[in-house]
């Protein structure tokens, strides 16, 4: 080696050893990388992103019918002109014994891998929800890693598949955004409950194991004449709104032990949400305390959480609900009244108190007598009185709730009467 022509050899450079060193360096580096990764990198265009999932009763007893609404990403590209939501999506349905298998089967006709990472809405039909344990049926969905808990859970009247196919949002490009927006605006006024899957799971695993989900429906063309005193005392699908989109969200579905046991109308839902302290503001009507045939319109705001005091050790259980509401007078029909007079405001407040109290008591009665479950979440307050699990077990909340003595007290304060001191008069005032 001494007489080689390699430069640097005189310094003891050894090509073999250098190669060994390089190899020794490369091997752990490469194998470290190879062994550490999951190698699940995928380009976005290899996926079909499901945004809405619908679940129906299947044609046979042991199957379920799954409907997937897949968004077409092309419509979101910057260069594409706006299309309506029904053109921006692809809807596929399939009868399948298990949810998990359904996606592979659908791939028989769809070119891309279905993924639920961006699923936003889960719609179950009434019939399916009545069948039994909802989460157990959908177990594979909920268990999956890419199925998020902030998904919106909707119970719909009729078939979920039909509902998804007939939902034609006119303002949004993306159907999932329609659902998101409508749940936000709708639940702020209390007409539908907060309906994330997470809430459903938490309350259906809670002390009373009852939960509420949003109720959706499609307006029939032979519109059922629902004659009610107030327009919000209806279920989804019964409200007469003229427009292209016949889909409605109104009221809630009551689940006990993850099984559908009944429905609440929009107003009942709102009252339940008032007790839960989840309403932001809504419009209400109160008959004029001085003239029965006139109506006063009020904007109701829930600024403070309701004060709920429960004595679970009393027999029967005692539940006191005190709700504080702020009102704005937004309109009244009497042409010659000064709404700013203190006496009138007092009377108006009393009228509103009575009316709201009555409505809430109706819902409470319904929950105790018809459904026999506490969907107000009272048990959370009641449990705080117990230091141990054993103590709570002795309360036997689920059995004794329906006999509980519930006192509802509503205090309203009229804060504003609007910009008009006097009523607007026609002609020369």
Partner 1 sequence: MKRKKMHSFFKQVKRAMFDPAAGTDRFSLGERSSPHLDSTRLRDPPEDPPDLTGDPAKDAEALQSLFGAPRNGDFLSSEIRLTNRSGQSFSVRLLFLRGMTDNRKIDDKIVRPLLEAALQTDRVKPETLADFLVHATPTATATSHARIKEAILDGAVAILTPGVRRAVLVQATKVEHRAVGDAKTELVIRGPHEGFVESLETNISLVRKILRSENLVTEYVPLQEFYQTKAAVMYLSDLANEKLVEEVKLRLEGIKMESIANTLVLQQLLEDKPNSLIPTLSVTERPDRASGAIIDGGVIVLSGHAPFAILCPTTLWTLFHTSEEIYTRTAYANFVRFVRLFATFFALFAPGVYIALVNFQPEMLPTDLMFHIAGNRELLPFPTLVEILLMELAFELIREAGIRIPSVIGSTIGIVGALILGQAAVQANLVSPLLVILVSITGLGSFAVPNQDLAYAVRLGRFLFLFLGSLLGFFGISLGVVFMLGHMVSLQSFGVPFLAPLYPHMSSNRDFIFRKQLWKQEEYGQFTRPKKLRRVRGAIRVWKNLWEDRSP
Site for partner 1, rule CB under 8 A: 12, 17, 20-21, 24-25, 27-29, 33, 36-38, 40-45, 47, 49, 51, 71-78, 80, 117-118, 120, 146, 148, 174, 176-177
Q: Please identify, using beta-carbon distances, which residue of 48 and 64 lies nearer to partner 1.
A: 48
Least Å from the CB of residue 40 to partner 1: 7
CB nearer to partner 1: pick between 79 and 425? 79
Considering only CA atoms, which of 7, 2, 5, 107 is closest in space to residue 50?
A: 107
In the complex with partner 1, the residue whose CB is nearer, 34 or 424, is: 34
Cα 166 from Cα 159, distance rounded (Å): 11
Identity of the residue, 36 or 136, whose beta carbon is nearer to partner 1 in the bound complex: 36
CA distance 347 to 339: 11
Q: What is the DSSP string of 307-346?
A: EEEEETTSSS-EEEEEEEEEEEEEEE--TT--TT-HHHHH
Cβ proximity to partner 1, 49 vs 282, nearer residue: 49
The CB-of-346 to partner 1 minimum distance in angstroms stands at: 49
| Rounded Cα–Cα distance for residues 428 and 383 (Å) | 63
Give the shortest CB-76-to-partner 1 separation in angstroms: 4
Of residues 90 and 220, the one with the C-beta less far from partner 1? 90
Token readout for 97 is 């014994």
Cα dist from 102 to 95, 135, 331, 347, 356, whole Å: 8, 17, 54, 61, 48
Q: CB of 69 within 8 A of CB of 164?
A: yes
Q: List the beta strands (DSSP E) in 97-246.
A: 113-115, 121-125, 152-156, 210-218
Q: Which is nearer to partner 1, 81 or 336 (CB)?
A: 81
CB of 145 to partner 1, least distance (A): 9
Let me know if 409 is exposed, middle or buried by CB neighbors in 10 A (0-12, 13-18, 19+). middle
Which residues is 57 bridged to in the sheet? 64
CB of 272 to partner 1, least distance (A): 30
* CB closer to partner 1 out of 91 and 322: 91
Of residues 71 and 204, the one with the C-beta less far from partner 1 = 71
CB of 49 to partner 1, least distance (A): 7
Q: Residues near 6 by Cβ (< 8 Å), separated by ≥ 6?
A: 13, 15
Burial code (b: 16+ CB inside 10 Å, e: under 16) for 184-195 equals eebbbbbbbbbb
Q: Is residue 283 within 8 Å of 300, Cβ to Cβ?
A: yes
Give 43 or 389: the residue with its C-beta nearer to partner 1: 43
Question: Which CA distances in Å does 422 have to 336, 337, 393?
Answer: 8, 7, 59
Smallest gap from Cβ 388 to partner 1, in A, equals 40
In whole angstroms, give the CA distance from residue 328 to residue 126: 38
Q: How far is the CB of 5 from partner 1 (least distance, A)?
A: 19
DSSP code of residue 290: S
Least distance from partner 1 to the Cβ atom of residue 70, Å: 11
Compute the least distance from the CB of residue 30 to partner 1, in Å: 11
Phi, psi of 358 (to 5 degrees): -60, -45
Q: Closest approach of Cβ 137 to partner 1, in Å?
A: 24
| Closer residue to partner 1 (CB): 7 or 37 | 37
Q: Measure the CA dihedral 10/11/15/20, to 10°.
A: 160
């Amino acid at each position: 080696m001494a007489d080689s022509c390699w430069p640097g050899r005189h310094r003891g450079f050894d090509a073999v050893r250098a190669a060994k060193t390089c190899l020794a360096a490369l091997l752990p580096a490469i194998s470290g990388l190879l062994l550490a990764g999951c190698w699940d990198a995928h380009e976005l265009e290899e996926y079909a992103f499901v945004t809405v999932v619908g679940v129906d009763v299947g044609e046979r007893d042991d199957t379920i019918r799954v409907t997937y609404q897949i968004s077409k990403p092309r419509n979101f590209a910057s260069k594409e002109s706006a299309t309506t939501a029904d053109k921006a999506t692809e809807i596929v349905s399939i009868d399948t014994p298990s949810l998990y298998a359904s996606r592979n089967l659908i791939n028989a006709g769809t070119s891309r891998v279905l993924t639920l990472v961006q699923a936003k809405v889960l719609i179950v039909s009434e019939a399916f929800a009545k069948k039994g344990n909802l989460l157990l049926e959908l177990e594979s969905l909920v268990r999956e890693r890419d199925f998020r808990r902030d998904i919106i859970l909707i119970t719909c009247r009729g078939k979920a598949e039909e509902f998804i196919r007939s939902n034609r949002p006119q303002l949004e490009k993306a159907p999932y955004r329609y659902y998101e927006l409508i749940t936000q605006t709708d639940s702020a006024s209390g007409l539908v409950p907060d309906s994330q899957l997470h809430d459903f799971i938490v309350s259906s695993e809670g002390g009373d194991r009852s939960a509420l989900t949003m109720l959706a429906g499609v307006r029939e063309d032979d519109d059922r004449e629902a004659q009610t005193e107030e327009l919000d005392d209806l279920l989804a699908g019964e409200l007469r709104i003229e427009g292209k989109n016949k889909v409605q969200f109104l009221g809630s579905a009551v689940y006990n032990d993850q099984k559908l046991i009944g429905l609440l109308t929009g107003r009942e839902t709102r009252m339940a949400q008032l007790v839960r302290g989840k309403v932001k503001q809504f419009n209400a009507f109160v008959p004029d305390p001085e003239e029965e045939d006139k109506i006063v319109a009020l904007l109701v705001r829930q600024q403070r959480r309701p004060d709920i005091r429960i004595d679970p050790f009393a027999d029967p259980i005692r539940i006191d609900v005190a709700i504080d509401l702020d009102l704005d007078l937004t309109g009244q029909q009497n042409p010659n009244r000064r709404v700013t007079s203190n006496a009138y405001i007092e009377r108006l407040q009393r009228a509103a108190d009575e009316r709201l109290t009555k409505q809430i008591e109706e819902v409470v009665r319904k929950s105790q007598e018809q459904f026999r479950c506490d969907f107000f979440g009272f048990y959370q307050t009641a449990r705080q009185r117990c230091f141990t699990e054993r103590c709570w077990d002795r309360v036997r909340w689920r059995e004794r709730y329906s006999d509980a003595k519930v006192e509802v007290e509503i205090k309203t304060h009229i804060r504003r009467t609007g910009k008009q001191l006097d009523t607007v008069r026609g002609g020369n005032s």
